[in-house]
Amino acid sequence: MGKGRLEAFSDGVIAIIITIMVLELKVPRGSRLADLGPVVPVLLSYVLSFVYVGIYWNNHHHMLHAVQKVNGPILWANLHLLFWLSLVPFVTAWMGENRFAAMPVAIYGSVMFMAGFAYFILSRMLIAHHGRDSALAIALGKDYKGRTSLVLYVMGIILSFTHSWTALGLYVLVAIMWFIPDRRIENALAESRA
Amino acid sequence: MGKGRLEAFSDGVIAIIITIMVLELKVPRGSRLADLGPVVPVLLSYVLSFVYVGIYWNNHHHMLHAVQKVNGPILWANLHLLFWLSLVPFVTAWMGENRFAAMPVAIYGSVMFMAGFAYFILSRMLIAHHGRDSALAIALGKDYKGRTSLVLYVMGIILSFTHSWTALGLYVLVAIMWFIPDRRIENALAESRA
Amino acid sequence: MGKGRLEAFSDGVIAIIITIMVLELKVPRGSRLADLGPVVPVLLSYVLSFVYVGIYWNNHHHMLHAVQKVNGPILWANLHLLFWLSLVPFVTAWMGENRFAAMPVAIYGSVMFMAGFAYFILSRMLIAHHGRDSALAIALGKDYKGRTSLVLYVMGIILSFTHSWTALGLYVLVAIMWFIPDRRIENALAESRA
Amino acid sequence: MGKGRLEAFSDGVIAIIITIMVLELKVPRGSRLADLGPVVPVLLSYVLSFVYVGIYWNNHHHMLHAVQKVNGPILWANLHLLFWLSLVPFVTAWMGENRFAAMPVAIYGSVMFMAGFAYFILSRMLIAHHGRDSALAIALGKDYKGRTSLVLYVMGIILSFTHSWTALGLYVLVAIMWFIPDRRIENALAESRA
């Protein structure tokens, strides 16, 4: 089974998610700068999610680039990932409209955790399908970055009830961690295998 | 007439349907966990529809993979299928917001029945266009799975007025039936033809 | 300049238009069949527009299939067409929610007239770019169907103020005219040129 | 890293932005022509933004056509551009619903300025990646048009507080400037380099 259909469909869904998210920015009634006030936290929430979804698009495309074939279960593992990403617009709006209150921050982190977990499952299934000596298996290695992300999400979810801004800071940290291409780690991993 | 345009357009529409469905999840005003309460049945309804549309994408793509050519009537049979799928976000939200009440469950099943029926028509037209000895005709066979789905939908629609949760269970059963690739039946069908 | 980008972008926009239109179907609050009452005219309106946009997708793709190259002005003639098509969800909802009242029916017809006119301009510009002996010029001929559509729209717009259902009937007539592939006329046109 | 994925994703997002913008046109309750009154400024605002996004699609595609390769930072520069474009539906609706009041006009101009600036950054990064002798570097030259646009936006933003219609006129001027292909300037630039 070719991977082309999976790539095109995933790219389409991710492009739609990143774009319809903006529909959650409700247009205020008044025309003064102050009327934009309630929109600001939703906008900040939107920026964070935009970067997240951008990172997912980026990495998803990279991962599938290193892949030659897919099968039925992989199609569903991919739809599982898209499902959690599809909830991002909802939790983004809920978190923003409640100005980063405890529970919305925790739920936002939970959806991000599930998306990260779904991505992890997908990557493991792709490796299992291509073998431990495949380019993908070598590129991902032990996937410290993926595992660290999941741990940071869990820490953020727990912290959100007492220190919601610290929790948010951890989510931002995950985004930065993926945003900056960490060549040092990649090289280290490459050498450890050489 | 090539099939490429049909595939790309269908994939695009299905990707949009599966994604905009999430816009029906209305963001609650409050920030407590209890405020998410009314969203839960809509979310469950969303999960079911997400799996359904995912199955349609999967099977639609498979079916068209086995096809070489299309014609005008097939284009319209395909648009007929997309029409019923386009109503899925509407009935998903109606069913979820009314916590799986009788009539919404019946209407949900009716739209699913019509989508299943439209898919059946499309498959028969594709077989008629390619001949009874075509790869598609052999792959689909008598299409017991498609026919069983339609019967289960009708049973669900009738039951929804008295036992709406049983009706819903039948819809879930159809989803599971398609979700799990039943190789035993496929092989049996293949042998019965050999 | 290649036509691939124009085709892909137009297909994308048309796929989004035909799908987001369903977001105008507002989910009713109650769960009885009677609660669906106000949705019925919007649904009928939606069916008509779905068929219309489906016809545009079909014909647009056909027309561009017969084309080898595009230029800057053609890109804008195409965006002009997409602009009027993008207004279809709005006028569809307005017409449906007002149960086919005079003014919404007139405005619906006006948007359809403008889309038809934009399509006519686009076809003429494509012919001018490819020459009077091109496959496209021969295929379109004098475009009686396109011209008749525009006349029927104008008649519908005028009639809408006194006989809004007759006006609507004329719009449906245009849809049927395009829906049924009229091979007799095509052959007649082909012979008249032979 | 190939540019195909970047092109397809950007085209998808831009197609979605230009289309979902119409969802901000709120369907009026009444069925008289006068009921469309409040929609008119939103429609005018929509027309301007439709042309703007159309221009971006056009130029973005042109620019990437002259490009052979991309890298990580370029992917993010592109997402940065898409981010500002994704805010266009929001500011379009806010400006239209407030009938081109001072602050919305200023914010609209600011988003347009940022989109123009993001486009400028993207073009410079593409040139840096391909070298000063690349086809892209020669085609863009000193990018007087891009720089002039940014200056006009800043003038518009400042003017919006005292003469909001003049500010709007400047935004329209930028659109016209890009809409009309200015071959004279292009030739002049080409000669100055020859």
Mean pLDDT within B133-138 = 85
pLDDT of residue D41 exceeding 50 = yes
Instruction: Assign D187 a pLDDT band (cuts: 50, 70, 90).
Output: low
Between chain A and chain D, the number of residue pairs with CB atoms below 8 A apart is: 62
Q: How many CB atoms lie within 10 A of CB D86?
A: 25
- pLDDT at residue D185, as a whole number: 46
**Is the dihedral angle over the CA atoms D76, D77, D80, D82 positive or is it negative?**
negative
Chain A, 12 to 41: residues with Cβ < 8 Å from chain B are 12-13, 16-17, 20, 23-24
How close D11 gets to chain A, by Cα (Å)? Answer: 9
Mean pLDDT within D185-191 = 51
Residues of C in contact with D14 (CB under 8 A): 9
Mean pLDDT within B16-27 = 94
For chain D, the chains sharing at least 3 beta-carbon pairs closer than 8 angstroms are: A, C
Instruction: Assign B190 a pLDDT band (cuts: 50, 70, 90).
Output: low
Q: What percent of chain D has pLDDT over 70?
A: 92
Residue A124 token pair: 């493991």
pLDDT of residue B3 exceeding 70 = yes
- pLDDT at residue C16, as a whole number: 96
**D19 with C9: Cβ contact below 8 A:** no
The whole-angstrom separation of Cα D169 and Cα D176 is 10
- Decide if D23 contacts A25 (C-beta within 8 A): no
The whole-angstrom separation of Cα A34 and Cα A13 is 35
Which of C23, C101, C102 comes nearest D23 by C-beta?
A: C23
Chain C, 44 to 63: residues with Cβ < 8 Å from chain D are none
ipTM for the assembly: 0.90
Q: Which residue in chain D is spatially nearest to C72 when comparing CA positions?
A: D181
Q: What is the average pLDDT score of chain D?
A: 90
Instruction: Assign A193 a pLDDT band (cuts: 50, 70, 90).
Output: low
For chain A, the chains sharing at least 3 beta-carbon pairs closer than 8 angstroms are: B, D
- On the 0-12 / 13-18 / 19+ scale of CB atoms within 10 A, D30 is middle
pLDDT, tens digit (0-9, with 9 covering 90-100), for D116-133:
999 999 999 999 999 888
Which of B13, B75, B103 comes nearest C33 by C-beta?
A: B103
Closest CA to D126 of D7, D18, D14: D7
Lowest mean pLDDT among A47-51, A72-76, A96-100: A72-76
How close D180 gets to chain A, by Cα (Å)? Answer: 29
Chain C contact present for B7, CB below 8 A: no
| DSSP 8-state assignment for residue A28 | P
Lowest mean pLDDT among A41-50, A101-110, D68-77, D181-190: D181-190
pLDDT, tens digit (0-9, with 9 covering 90-100), for C109-122:
999 999 999 999 99
Q: Which residues of chain C have pLDDT under 70?
A: 1, 181-194
How close A161 gets to chain B, by Cα (Å)? Answer: 11
Instruction: Assign B48 a pLDDT band (cuts: 50, 70, 90).
Output: very high
Mean pLDDT within A41-62 = 94
Which of B76, B89, B104 comes nearest C22 by C-beta?
A: B89
How far is CA B6 from its chain centroid?
Answer: 18
- pLDDT at residue C160, as a whole number: 96
Q: Which residue in chain A is spatially nearest to D98 when comparing CA positions?
A: A31
- pLDDT at residue A10, as a whole number: 93
Mean pLDDT within A25-30 = 93
SS (H, E, C) chain C: CCCHHHHHHHHHHHHHHHHHHHHHCCCCCCCCHHHHCCHHHHHHHHHHHHHHHHHHHHHHHHHHHCCCCCCHHHHHHHHHHHHHHHCHHHHHHHHHHCCCCHHHHHHHHHHHHHHHHHHHHHHHHHHHHHCCCCHHHHHHCCCHHHHHHHHHHHHHHHHCCCCHHHHHHHHHHHHHHHHCCCHHHHHHHHHHHC
Q: Which residue in chain B is spatially nearest to A22 when comparing CA positions?
A: B23
Q: Which residue in chain C is spatially nearest to B82 when comparing CA positions?
A: C19
| DSSP 8-state assignment for residue D38 | T
Chain D, 114 to 173: residues with Cβ < 8 Å from chain A are none
Q: What is the average pLDDT score of chain A?
A: 90
**D89 with A23: Cβ contact below 8 A:** yes
- pLDDT at residue C109, as a whole number: 97
**A107 with B36: Cβ contact below 8 A:** yes
Q: Which residue in chain C is spatially nearest to B93 when comparing CA positions?
A: C27
| CA distances in angstroms from A15 to A10, A19, B62, C31, C156, listed in the order given | 8, 6, 23, 34, 39
Which of D15, D47, D181 comes nearest C9 by C-beta?
A: D15
**B19 with A23: Cβ contact below 8 A:** no
pLDDT of residue D194 exceeding 60 = no
**C24 with D27: Cβ contact below 8 A:** yes
The whole-angstrom separation of Cα D13 and Cα D85 is 9
Instruction: Report the largest interatomic distance among the alpha carbons of chain A, rounded to a whole angstrom.
Output: 63
Q: What percent of chain A has pLDDT over 90?
A: 71
The whole-angstrom separation of Cα C92 and Cα C45 is 6
